[in-house]
A and B are shown apart, each in its own frame.
Chain A
């Protein structure tokens, strides 16, 4: 069955540095992959979608890459700020057309 794995360990970085989060998937090659942000006590909020034919996608300080050979997506936040502290989730539609999520990686940006 389809699996998505994100680093369960929290990522702690200094303000101004680039944060890099990893999303790995197995058993199926999705046509596209999504990234969401979730703040404590709130529902996830959509950030970006990247398609299998796109190597890279950018939105302001966010950059997402998609390597279908490695079955991996990387999510980068450049010039990180304390306000970027949150949990970041990746998601994809599996073979059955169901949207499934990774367990999320918590990012903490220290001033």
Chain B
């Protein structure tokens, strides 16, 4: 299993540009989520999904859109990039039905810079 994969690893955008961060998992996990990590702020939840066709907002959803058309994929769209969105973005997945640890599997991250 590849686990959770994210592309691209690095991205530089200009203010106002849009882009999609890709996330895929091959573990058949129902739950997927997006976090951003900034120095001193820890991981903050952007959006999450409990299954295909179902998404919900996290702590910091403004400026981001998500969709979940398949179990495997959970892309994050930046509609109009702003310098405040410069961050490291992590995708995670888990399967609440399997085991009792609710362990989150994280991808390697995408480092985004908005100039």
Contact = CB atoms under 8 A, between A and B. Distances in A.
B76 to A, nearest CB: 15
Given A98-B48, A99-B33, A43 B106 contact: yes
Interface residues of B, number: 24
Contacts, number: 57
Given A6-B42, A49-B100, 10 more contacts: A32-B102, A34-B102, A41-B109, A44-B43, A46-B103, A49-B103, A91-B104, A100-B59, A101-B44, A104-B42
Interface of A: 4, 6, 8, 32, 34, 36, 41-46, 49, 89, 91, 93, 98-104
21 contacts: A34-B101, A34-B103, A41-B109, A42-B108, A42-B109, A43-B92, A43-B106, A43-B108, A45-B106, A46-B101, A49-B103, A89-B42, A93-B102, A98-B45, A98-B59, A99-B45, A100-B45, A101-B43, A103-B41, A103-B42, A104-B42
